[in-house]
Amino acid sequence: MQYQDIAVLAGKIKKNVARVIIGREEQMDLILTAIIAGGHILLEDVPGTGKTVMARSMAKSLNCAFSRVQFTPDLLPSDVTGVSVYQMGTGTFEFMPGPVFTNILLADEINRATPRTQSALLECMAEKQVTEGGKTRPLDAPFTVIATQNPVETQGTFPLPEAQLDRFLMQLSMGYPDGEEAMQLMERFIRSSPLSEIGPVAEKNEICDAQRLFSQCQVSRPVMEYIAAICQETRDPDTVQLGVSPRGMLALLQASQAYAAIRGRDYVIPDDVKKLAVPVLAHRIILRGLFGRRSENEKFVLSILERVAAPTEAIR
């Protein structure tokens, strides 16, 4: 597989998802970037904006195993990861895999589960493995969590802690359709749901090949210095309570490589970094006196991009 092949693969998937989702090309690009980078996505928006439909459309476009878990307050960690069950016939315990043993996991309304259950995903997301009964079981590749949550309703919810937010490569929003998109949406869904009609257009091994190749994408020293400078600016102690961690900095680097790859390039340019800075960094920041204000975090990252000069010399 070459970088042009990754761009062709991404184009096929986007075209297939566009049979269901109206517009939202930018969100499709970013979700594909996260999948190819081996990262996880948090879709946060009000109900009914297409978060779950987007996740299901992406999953159906990839010929991969797919599981969906509806997170509720009574959900247990073993309901997610699996549990060992005693078999009376053999006198032994047999492990019954949970829904995380898949390729794409849709964690619907993740903030409705208790912190104990939310933490069950930490090892899965960070290490891509499950430890139960003293035995560690690796998850099949590729593995991506697409989680959704509603930012408006707070009753009966448990906000994700910073440690878990840091595990998500990106946080995205679907947004409302404009007038023309609303008309197209009604025309498309007036008789049936196109989601039931789409099939896979990519194979599992193609995603794995893309995940192995994207990390070879060239990143020049000036671009790495640019990424480091942006992250350093998020750690101003006067305005920021929690800045971007080294893990967040590496996430921006890897996401930039994957984004360049789906564009058919084998090198990262500063515009790739600018495009990804908000979705990759904003949810990792806590501004003083503005906890949970995502819009303010996004404005803060955008202000950093205005202050930090991008490299202009040759970057290959």
First to last CA, the chain: 21
172 membership: H or E segment, kind and range: strand 170-172
Contact of 247 with 163, CB cutoff 8 Å = no
| H or E element, residue 108 | strand 104-108
| pLDDT, tens only, 135-164 | 899 999 899 999 988 877 666 678 888 888
The structure's pTM equals: 0.89
Bridge-based pairing state of the strands 144-149 and 41-44? parallel
Hey, how many other C-beta atoms are within 10 angstroms of the C-beta on 108?
18
Cα(51)–Cα(48) distance, rounded to whole angstroms? 8
Which helix (DSSP H) or strand (DSSP E) does residue 70 occupy?
Answer: strand 66-70
Q: What is the pLDDT of residues 278-289, one digit of tens each?
A: 999 999 998 887
The pLDDT of residue 12: 92
Q: What does the mean pLDDT of the chain come to? A: 88
Q: Which of 139, 121, 119, 120 is nearest to 129 (CA)?
A: 139
CB atoms within 10 A of CB 16: 19
Is residue 262's pLDDT more than 60? Answer: yes
What confidence score (pLDDT) does residue 196 get? Answer: 82
Contacts of 88 (CB under 8 A, 6+ apart): none
Q: What are phi and psi of 261, to 5 degrees?
A: -65, -40
